[in-house]
Amino acid sequence: MTDQNRSRRLTTASGKPYVENENSKSVGARGPLLLEDFILHEKLAHFNRERIPERVVHAKGTGAFGTFTVTHDITRYTKAKLFSEIGKQTKLFLRFSTVGGEKGSADTERDPRGFAIKFYTEDGNWDLVGNNTPVFFIKDPKKFPDFIHTQKRDPRTNCKSATMMWDFWSLNPESLHQVMILMSDRGTPYSYRHLDGFGSHTFSLINANNERVWVKFHFKTLQGIKNFTAEEAVEMKGKDPDFAQRDLVEAIDKKDFPKWAMKIQVMTDEEAQAFPWNPFDLTKVWPHGDFPLHDVGILELNQVPRNYFAEVEQSAFAPAHVIDGISYSPDKMLQGRILSYTDAQRYRLGGNYEQIPVNRCPFMVANHQRDGLMAVNGNGEDTPNYFPNSFDDIYVDESYTEPAVELDSAVAGWFDRNGANDNDHYSQPAALYNKVMNDYERHNLVANIVDAMSGISGEKKDIIINRQLCHWFRVDMSLGMAIAKGFGIDINAVMQHAPKQQAELV
């Protein structure tokens, strides 16, 4: 293939050239996404169908049933029935997972950990689908398939590629915050019991007066944070690649039930409007000093599934599944996941995946959906399959109407996800490095980064390494110097790839 043949215009699968491959079409720079952006839908829908039958991401995991018990009153914020009174218990199912590996990969791989909860409430199932980190690598869903491709296997070698990973990260500084967490010891948790969980996205809570606030959900492990070092993780990978799975099952069997404290951060709409950056940006956190954690309740896991395939492998989660009193936000990644997760589950398990026992709402379900593969709930029997009709008693309960959301713009277009006030990718990683990590954690972070980046190879190796080094220098001068020293790199060579002001700083 000649160089001329390598140069090809970007098109859709049907051959239509298009321009916006990174920014989704939205109502204003911070508004919700538009259904008409079919490029977003095409990318996500095709991405969901790239693997069968295992999950495209989060393929390796484990799960358990448990309960959530309310300990503090938050009814001033939400009318959701599971929070209606102190002491109220709700059954749940929680699935942990690694993100990038296949179903047979090791539990101790350096990777984020999925933290997905299905609450079985009387107003339907609420799926809170997050990770063990409060942030993520990207802030626009159109970039998700590209990002995950870099975490999978090289098309030519069929091996994991450090070059692909760091090439993408170095070209997307918005990923820096999450990359720092991943490269710390929190990237190799000791077990699923010893990590925190996060809803990660911004959601909204609606109270009985139809007043809305923005919210972030946190789950603090009561077992304490415990991590493997890089060396310990590699050693356990050889000893027992299913260590986290075994650890969870054995703990519950011994009645050493794992527990997490649910807490929330709350932000009013007025505070969101005045916030110095986009509060719906998934690559950033809300400072706890400004938005403190409020206690809500205790989550406990106390029942191992009787059959792994039936209840863990077939469990299906989707951020689209919210309940009365809990709703969405303009978080662009959340908006994309509302579409893609339900699409992925229909592809993986079929259009009737919510009839599978682990996914089925244990309370009333009434609609006019019929037929399709594996319709196992009686398929509506002889009742009508259309609405409205004169024969059944299914009605619309107007009391569940959500209040309207006031948008900040009437202009629809493709807005730069890193536009004004949204392009600071370094302040929060700097705070993580200088204010949260101790000397031991900083030492391990540098060692893990040097080890991970040492896998970069090929003719673009020096360019990718130097480009990423410039990001580390922007986070903190001592961090950049320590990583460069680990590589034995000439700082003058690095500065050739840095903006002028950064070169002068060094």
Q: Which residues are known to be catalytic? A: 58, 131
Sign (positive or negative) of CA dihedral 460, 453, 153, 347: negative
Residue that the structure tokens 């030492």 belong to: 443
Do strands 326-327 and 124-131 pair parallel, antiparallel, or not at all (unpaired)?
unpaired
Query: What DSSP letter does each residue of 168-186 carry, written as one string?
Result: HHHH-GGGHHHHHHHHSGG
Query: Which is it for the CA torsion 334, 335, 336, 340, positive or negative?
Result: positive
Q: How far is 252 from 243, CA to CA, in rounded Å?
A: 14
Q: How would you classify the pairing of strands 197-198 and 259-267? A: unpaired
| Cβ–Cβ < 8 Å for 62, 284 | no
149: left (phi over 0), alpha (psi -120 to 50) or beta: alpha
What is the number of other CB atoms lying within 10 angstroms of the CB of residue 501? 7
Smallest CA-to-CA distance from 428 within 284, 289, 328, 332 is with 284
494: number of CA atoms within 13 Å, CB side?
25
- How distant, in Å, are the alpha carbons of 372, 462, 465, 498 from that of 501? 61, 21, 20, 8
Whether the upstream peptide bond of residue 141 has omega within 30° of 0, thus cis, is no
Number of Cβ within a 10 Å radius of residue 387: 11
Helix (H) or strand (E) holding 124: strand 124-131
Distance from C-alpha of 138 to C-alpha of 417, rounded to nearest angstrom? 10
Alpha helix (H) residue ranges in 104-143: none
